[in-house]
Amino acid sequence: MNDPILEMRGVSKSFFGIKALRAVDLTVYPGEIHALMGENGAGKSTLMKILSGAYRPDPGGEIRIEGRPVRIEGPLGGRAAGISIIYQELSLAPNLSVAENIYLGREISRSGLLARGAMRQGVGPILERLGADFQPSTLVAHLSMGQRQLVEIARALHARSKILIMDEPTTALSAGESERLFALIRQLRAEGLAIIYISHRMDEVYALGDRVTVLRDGRLVGSLDKPEIRADTIVRLMVGRDVSSFYKKDHDPEAGRGHPVLCAIDMSDGRRVKGCSLTVHAGEVVGLAGLIGAGRTELAHLIIGAAAKTSGRLELEGRPIDIRTPGEALEAGIAYLTEDRKALGLFLDMSCLDNINLAVLGRDAKLGWFLDGDKARERADRAFAGLSIRAANVGVPAGGLSGGNQQKVLLSRLLAIAPKILILDEPTRGVDVGAKSEIYSIIDNLAKAGTAILVISSDLPEIIGICDRVIVMRSGHIAGEVSRTETAPLNQEDIMALATGMEHLDA
């Protein structure tokens, strides 16, 4: 292997006397995709912000680039050192063209005017090299998320970066866009670029990573070469315990299964959902699986009244019920956790306290008019303790929390109404391994207490790990069901056969 392009030795960082990083080492080589993993709060972002110049490290550590010690002063210093970072929340100006974004801060001007033609000409070869299907003059506002990701990469290459840091780059991308991004990342690796890849997704790390470095609680806990990259090893390093304890399942699906709570019968929306029926009992966790576009979320929206149905009916605890809005669903005891917590779930600028109590404000009102602040704070404090929400206090804005803690705040709001059935749509999307394990434990405890739970997830190991049985959708229909027994556990092959229609080939 060549000499390292980056060496970080003994790098530490403190905030107000609290150690966020403790003497961390990181070595990266040219032409390498180096995955950086760890729970939220493990120190990954802090380490990368030091490398890119956004943070200044504590005295005592050292950073070397191509063997030479460097002192990185601010983001411009990071760029001058050949380091570019692409954050999860892209930092493009949508009202500017592609070329103007790439040249932002380094614009070409002539006689005091922007030389837009020269800038468009300057970025043309890079966009062509990346296989871009848009022009330098295109407004960024008109681009898809995958195309915007490409602009960020083009900006890094135009700045002649030697090290590219990518923070959760596929979060907002479709499966097709993700695959195109992976192909481009491999191309950049072949051209000698060093890529530091931050992700919570194991499949991406398997597909791309040449090496993996894992942080936990601000410390380096291990580095793995390609042959050593395995899910159980990575999880054990990340959470400090064996992978066998990852999926918590103490509730007994046979002994604990009660009466039918929700029955959806012949539900259709005239477009995506076509005559679907399912039943969920008290005390059981039912998975709703299927490929993207199968209609899982659309079926959930029909159940909670977020979309209009063209046929079908609902029964709640054996009684017919007509639900026309999500508000009516909540009042009836049907709670739905959206897959997009930031856009459709949380109010990010509101406090955790207000977010948690939002669904029960009317219940707490004194004289039907005045809010009971003491009761609201007591409920929020109980949620923080019961769900292990990590934040300074219940008064901090929800937008400042990690993804896993945001998800638990949103879950707390739904649990405040004591739902009869809880529908969870991608409950662990975008959260770290430790937070996933805690959410699985919450689901298990709710089932043990008798709550009926329907889990929509694209993560098959998750579905298999936490569910008692799995209903599989394909092309808007219920394709079949897979159940767990003492002698036959759930397995991915049976679920995928139903999801893809392969079971017909075996018949």
| CATH number for the domain that contains residue 305 | 3.40.50.300
What pLDDT shows up at residue 309?
94
What pLDDT shows up at residue 137?
93
Low-confidence ranges of the chain (pLDDT < 50): 504-507
Structural domain includes residue 42: yes
What pLDDT shows up at residue 453?
96
- Domain co-membership, 346 together with 324: no
- Domain co-membership, 392 together with 502: no
- Domain co-membership, 22 together with 159: yes
What pLDDT shows up at residue 266?
97
What pLDDT shows up at residue 363?
67
* Residues 6+ positions from 486 with CB-CB distance below 8 Å: none
Structural domain includes residue 296: yes
- Domain co-membership, 179 together with 81: yes
* Residues 6+ positions from 278 with CB-CB distance below 8 Å: 262, 263, 264, 286, 288, 454, 471, 478
Q: Which of 381, 402, 418 is the last residue of a domain?
A: 418
Taking the complete model, does pTM exceed 0.85, yes or no?
Answer: no
Cα atoms in the 13 Å half-sphere on the side-chain side of 448: 11
Helix and strand element counts for the chain (H, E): 18, 22
What pLDDT shows up at residue 50?
95
- Domain co-membership, 324 together with 404: no
Under 8 Å between Cβ of 400 and 432: no
What pLDDT shows up at residue 22?
93
**Tokens describing residue 233:** 């090893």
- Domain co-membership, 438 together with 466: yes
- Domain co-membership, 319 together with 353: no
Scan for tokens 């002649």, then name that residue: 160
Q: Which of 368, 384, 418 is the last residue of a domain?
A: 418
- Domain co-membership, 188 together with 205: yes
- Domain co-membership, 385 together with 471: no
What pLDDT shows up at residue 507?
43
Q: Which helix (H) or strand (E) holds 338?
A: none
- Domain co-membership, 110 together with 259: no
Give the pLDDT confidence of 429-448 residue by residue, as tens digits: 777 777 788 889 889 999 99
Structural domain includes residue 1: no
- Domain co-membership, 328 together with 354: no
Instruction: Provide the 3-class DSSP secondary structure of residue 78.
Output: helix
Scan for tokens 């993207």, then name that residue: 292
Residues spanned by the domain of 299: 246-333+419-507
- Domain co-membership, 269 together with 324: yes
**Torsion region of 402: left, alpha or beta (phi above 0 gives left; psi -120 to 50 gives alpha):** beta
Q: Which of 244, 273, 306 is the last residue of a domain?
A: 244
What pLDDT shows up at residue 45?
86
Number of separate domains in the chain? 3
